[in-house]
Structure 1
Amino acid sequence: MSKYYSIRTKLIAFMLIATTIPLLTSISMTFIQTKTALREQALEENKRLIYQASTNLNNYVDNVARASLTVYNDPNFLRNLAKLPGDYRAVAEVYTTLQTIKAAVPDVFQLYLHSFASNQSTLITSPFPKREGRKQAYSDSLHGQAGSGSSDIWVESAHMSHTYGFKAASPDDSPRTVITLHRIIRDIPSPERLGVLAIDLNMNSIAAICSRLYDPDKEQIYVVDGQNRIVYQGRTEVQGAGDANHLQSVAANALRDGQAHTGEARIAEGHFEQDHSMYVYQQLGNSYADWTIVKQIPNETLYARATSLTWNNAMIAIAALVLVIVATLFISIRITGPLKQLMRYMNQIQAGRLHVDIHLSSRDEFGVLARHFRDMMDTVNNLILREYQLELANKTNQLKALQAQIHPHFLYNTLQSIGTLALQQQGKRAYTLLSSLSKMLRYSMRDQTCVTLREEAEHARLYLELQQERFGERLEVQMQFAEDTLSVQMPRMTLQPLIENYFKHGADIQPGKGYISITSRFVNEHWIEIELINNGPAIPEDKLSEIRGWLQPQETATEMMQESEMTESIGLRNVARRLALNSHPDKPARIEMHNIRSGGVKLLVKLYAGE
């Protein structure tokens, strides 16, 4: 039986399927639900954090803007702008106002002021302030005015600091990243521009606010302006217009996504996914600092807890599967082991070992089945032994009866021939015939079932010698046995009854000279053929068909002769039955009978000579 159809294979497959599918389904559903829950939780938490950060940034920018209004709070500041540069008192008061602004904002790096009325530029920086006459303001201080519309205040995105055209205090002073708040100073309520103020701010406060929004080892934070320029980027100090295309793409996507959700060009809040990350954004909503905070959360960070939980579940599932496999193997072996042992016993019985010792000690249903099977085989063996003994006794009785049927007919013809010689006073010839008869009688009385073809041929020769004495010159005999066939075993008293059949049915009524020929030869390496030919009368076709029917080996070996058949063809039937009783069960001997066209009958005896 194929292993794919065994109970053990089916049981293991069923147990694995019954446990694996629910476990995998549970793990998958848990992972998906956990992933969704973590995503929603992370989204809400980051929205709250970014909203708080946007509020803090708004407050920070508003504080800087309020600090820049100091120029209007001092009533003398606007007049002092027109007095520069000749009035040193006015210069001192302007310095004082600028220092007040710098003190009010912690992150001020430097302040730049240009007066259009006096054509003077002032730079408040460490360690000393600088002042020089200029006809025009430094061009960068008005760079963002075009993009700010009619607003007098705007914030320039992150850029590298510079000295506004003044000579650097020290060659070692390196530029830093700053943002700049620009304010146009007007003679309110007149629209006339009196000057321009630029406040350069360090990134410390912005970095401090943004640092609370993300984990630098796993996440990233950006602050972008309305032109997709990066104001601030976590985990780097390079800001401004020189940022990578990827960051510009992130900013552009945030702008497009916000417009799609709000229907306006200004960004409110939302999120989108790009490059295996989730981006959460929030706009400041400041009129002069059009900034948006964007937080990047990689999927591996976002779903880290879900992945960890899934791995834990997977480990538990693997442990459960191993336990199931071990339990399944144990149970299947306990169940199918006795079955396999019982199948091995059955295979041995099928191979012919009927007395195999069936021993299963288990007390379950399989042990009961094995004990019942053992009892059944004991009963079968007893029945087989009984039937075999009965069949053997029956065959022995049949053989003895068949041999006994030969003697009366043979003795009658032989004694008649010897009696004739005695009347003719041919003592020597009579002695020879009596000697041949005694040898034949001794041969027929031997307690031996099978003999060699050599012994059968000698017995046939003695018989034909007696018959030639009876028929004289009216009988011609030819015997030619191949030497390699003489050692083949065959049932005793096979040839003589077949020869005798001719004298019973054809010799007395056949006109002219009788003829008998006996030959033997190997037809192949395992079978020999003994051919008996006589020139007796042909057998009618209907009778020949009937004879061929009961000459079949399976019929002659299994049917007893009917009473109506005892008077005809006794010798031929006896030979056929003895051949059936003593031949190989798988290769039975057979007799074939044919009419010869030129006249006569041919008998063929085919015997299995062995390997």
Structure 2
Amino acid sequence: MSKYYSIRTKLIAFMLIATTLPLLASISMSFIQTKTALREQAVAENKRLIYQASTNLNNYVDNVARASLAVYSDPNFLRNLAKIPGDYRAVAEVYTTLQTIRSAVPDVFQLYLHSFAANQSTLIMSPFPKREERKQAYSDALHGKTGGESPDIWVESAHMSHTYGFKAASADDPARTVITLHRVIKDVPSTERLGVLAIDLNMNTIAAICSRLYDPEKEQIYVVDGQNQIIYQGRSEVSGTDQLRQEASRELDAARTGTGTSSTAAGHFEQEHSMYVYQQMGSTFADWTIIKQIPNETLYARATTLTWNNAMIAIAALLLVIVATLFISIRITGPLKQLMRYMNQIQAGRLHVDIRLKSQDEIGVLARHFRDMMDTVNNLILREYRLEIANKTNQLKALQAQIHPHFLYNTLQSIGTLALQHQGQRVYVLLSSLSKMLRYSMRDQTRVTLREEAEHARLYLELQQERFGDRLEVQLDFAEDTLRTELPRMTLQPLIENYFKHGADIQPGKGFIRISSRRTSDHWIEIQLENNGPPIPEEKLSEIQGWLSLIHTSSGLAAQDSDPSESIGLRNVMRRLQLNSPPEHTAMLEISNLEPHGVMIKLNIYAGE
């Protein structure tokens, strides 16, 4: 029966639909209402903040304007303008007044003064002023605003500083962004112009005031003038600046038109996935507007967090509904589902499942009959399985027995050669080593640890070193985390013997054997044997690699029974590895030639969970 038609599936689907739809509707409505509330709250809070900042900027500009009135507070300043440059006392008094203005405003970068009466320009940027005679003021200090109806004082928007026509003190002095307050100096109460004063101001105070209005990582702040040119901009980058200026200009014009006055305008608008809150300053000579941009992701961050919290609560509620539904469904369909699980386990190969159903209804009777049937089947399978195990055990012992004659022949020949060359005490030591090896090879255990197998290989190579002397170099490098891995007994020695059988006696020069192990993953290790003997002929190597590939892909041992009698060591190793490996984790053996000569054997063994 398909799971889509089961009672449990239908019950769960009904409960989920009945619970999910109201929860989703509630979360959606809560998110919309929260967004609206946060939007109104953010607009109100930011309007208050920006209004306070506009007041501070107004006060700042007014303070600079009041500081510039020092030219009228000093009764001698206007007379001194006509005396310079001939009167050095007048020059000093004018310099003192300018320094007073500079000291009254902390952000003054430089001051420029031009006297129309004396045709002299003065620039104060450092403690030492610069002066030179000029027939007219530097043009950028006036900007065409000295006409008959132009204001006596105005603020020039942000621009790069310059030296008003004077030679720079240093070519390395970089220009900086400044705003400039211009004041026309008149011989009050008449309208005769005596000079013009320009005060260049750093952006430090403006930046300090604006920095308290926004988070540089998430928001943006602008101060723009009446022509929508940016005076100050925060650090973060925001796209759509041109559209922002145009939209702000339209909003400000609409605000002025709606009120019918030029008083300060404030408001907000949405554009480019952001909220913009603006406030116009009330200064008569600095037509500035502060605009703050708040991205929607920042504006509605709390709403998003609240929605996620509601979603977590909804998920918890859904889980509770699922648990309750499962509990009810188990009470109704539990015995039938349990019997189906037993059947699935038996189908997967677990034939000894303990079937226990205590219900007294028809399902319970069916389960008991099914259990009796499985007991009968298991008894039949058990007899066949024991026969198969006995056959495999006999086959394994036969494979191990093939190794012993080959091993004894090579070893006894080596010890015989040593007995002719050395005294009896040394022969006794070697025979002791041989006895340990024989005792190891005759153990009843079919599986040993790599630590034991490595020790057995060391004893064997020690005997061979006695035979070959300085002509044989041995390196053993077994990683500590591989030594507990189990493998069939007498796995390494047949692989090592191939070198002494096929290459040690005919090889010129010094022989070399290296055996190492390492862990390639959590569940596999690699054992590598290298020697510098003669390479295997290509035809023979292809043959060996062919039947190794056949062994790796074969599901049983039948593919190996018809192999020729050559490469006994390799075949025995692979057969024993296949008998002792889980079917899904069969060991792999690779053999290849090394350049310029030598043979390398790699053995990959499953190390268990």
Q: TM-score, normalised by structure 2?
A: 0.53
Question: Shift of residue 68 of structure 1?
Answer: 0.7
Task: Report the counterpart of residue 232 of structure 2 in structure 1.
Answer: 232
Q: How does 1:109-508 map to 2 (within 5 A)?
A: 109-143=109-143, 145=145, 150-235=150-235, 246-262=240-256, 263=258, 266=262, 268-337=265-334
Q: 1:26 to 1:274 in 2, by over 3 A?
A: same
Q: Distance in 2 between matches of 1:45 and 1:35?
A: 15
Q: 1:342 to 1:181 in 2, by over 3 A?
A: closer
Q: Distance in 2 between matches of 1:370 and 1:163?
A: 102
Q: Distance in 2 between matches of 1:245 and 1:307?
A: 23
Task: Report the counterpart of residue 45 of structure 1 in structure 2.
Answer: 45
Task: Report the counterpart of residue 99 of structure 2 in structure 1.
Answer: 99
Q: Residues 114 and 137 of structure 1 are in contact (CA less than 8 Å); yes or no, is this contact kept in structure 2? A: yes
Q: 1:236 to 1:136 in 2, by over 3 A?
A: farther
CA deviation map 1:420-445 (0-9, x unaligned): xxxxxxxxxxxxxxxxxxxxxxxxxx
Q: Residues 67 and 101 of structure 2 are in contact (CA less than 8 Å); yes or no, is this contact kept in structure 1? A: yes
Q: Distance in 2 between matches of 1:116 and 1:86?
A: 15
| Pair 1:34-2:34 in alignment | yes
Q: Distance in 2 between matches of 1:316 and 1:302?
A: 23
Question: Shift of residue 145 of structure 1?
Answer: 2.2
Q: Distance in 2 between matches of 1:336 and 1:265?
A: 79
* Letter in structure 1 aligned against 2:254: A
Question: Shift of residue 134 of structure 1?
Answer: 0.4
Task: Report the counterpart of residue 539 of structure 2 in structure 1.
Answer: none
Q: Distance in 2 between matches of 1:211 and 1:342?
A: 71
SS in 1 for 2:155: strand
* Letter in structure 2 aligned against 1:283: Q
Q: 1:289 to 1:245 in 2, by over 3 A?
A: farther
Q: 1:261 to 1:303 in 2, by over 3 A?
A: same
* Letter in structure 2 aligned against 1:246: G
Q: Distance in 2 between matches of 1:2 and 1:250?
A: 60
* Letter in structure 2 aligned against 1:249: Q
Task: Report the counterpart of residue 494 of structure 2 in structure 1.
Answer: none
Structure 2's unaligned 5+ residue stretches are: 341-355, 365-609
Q: Distance in 2 between matches of 1:261 and 1:269?
A: 8
Question: Shift of residue 100 of structure 1?
Answer: 0.8
Q: 1:211 to 1:340 in 2, by over 3 A?
A: closer
Q: Distance in 1 between matches of 2:114 and 2:266?
A: 39
SS in 1 for 2:180: strand
Question: Shift of residue 27 of structure 1?
Answer: 1.6
Q: Distance in 2 between matches of 1:12 and 1:188?
A: 92
Q: 1:147 to 1:300 in 2, by over 3 A?
A: farther
Task: Report the counterpart of residue 86 of structure 1 in structure 2.
Answer: 86
Q: How does 1:512-591 map to 2 (within 5 A)?
A: none
Question: Shift of residue 307 of structure 1?
Answer: 1.1
SS in 2 for 1:50: helix
CA deviation map 1:229-262 (0-9, x unaligned): 111111179xxxxxx9933431321221133244
Q: Distance in 1 between matches of 2:147 and 2:252?
A: 21
* Letter in structure 2 aligned against 1:251: R
Q: TM-score, normalised by structure 1?
A: 0.53
SS in 2 for 1:27: helix
Higher Cα Rg, which structure: 1
Q: 1:32 to 1:128 in 2, by over 3 A?
A: same
SS in 1 for 2:222: strand
Q: Distance in 2 between matches of 1:155 and 1:236?
A: 26
SS in 2 for 1:20: helix
* Letter in structure 1 aligned against 2:80: N
Question: Shift of residue 124 of structure 1?
Answer: 1.1
Structure 1's unaligned 5+ residue stretches are: 238-243, 344-358, 372-611
SS in 2 for 1:172: coil
Q: Distance in 2 between matches of 1:299 and 1:245?
A: 14
* Letter in structure 2 aligned against 1:331: I
Q: Distance in 2 between matches of 1:127 and 1:273?
A: 49
RMSD: 3.0
Task: Report the counterpart of residue 73 of structure 2 in structure 1.
Answer: 73
Question: Shift of residue 319 of structure 1?
Answer: 2.8
* Letter in structure 2 aligned against 1:258: L
Question: Shift of residue 87 of structure 1?
Answer: 1.2
SS in 1 for 2:78: helix
Q: 1:44 to 1:144 in 2, by over 3 A?
A: farther
* Letter in structure 2 aligned against 1:260: A
Question: Shift of residue 227 of structure 1?
Answer: 0.5
Q: Distance in 2 between matches of 1:258 and 1:281?
A: 9
CA deviation map 1:554-597 (0-9, x unaligned): xxxxxxxxxxxxxxxxxxxxxxxxxxxxxxxxxxxxxxxxxxxx
Task: Report the counterpart of residue 23 of structure 2 in structure 1.
Answer: 23
Question: Shift of residue 189 of structure 1?
Answer: 2.1
Q: Residues 144 and 156 of structure 1 are in contact (CA less than 8 Å); yes or no, is this contact kept in structure 2? A: no
Q: Residues 144 and 155 of structure 1 are in contact (CA less than 8 Å); yes or no, is this contact kept in structure 2? A: no
Q: Residues 148 and 288 of structure 1 are in contact (CA less than 8 Å); yes or no, is this contact kept in structure 2? A: no
Q: Distance in 2 between matches of 1:159 and 1:97?
A: 26
Q: Distance in 2 between matches of 1:122 and 1:249?
A: 42
Task: Report the counterpart of residue 410 of structure 1 in structure 2.
Answer: none
Question: Shift of residue 144 of structure 1?
Answer: 6.2
Task: Report the counterpart of residue 64 of structure 1 in structure 2.
Answer: 64
- Count the aligned residue pairs: 348
CA deviation map 1:278-318 (0-9, x unaligned): 11100111110000000111111111111122122222322
Question: Shift of residue 6 of structure 1?
Answer: 4.7
CA deviation map 1:499-545 (0-9, x unaligned): xxxxxxxxxxxxxxxxxxxxxxxxxxxxxxxxxxxxxxxxxxxxxxx
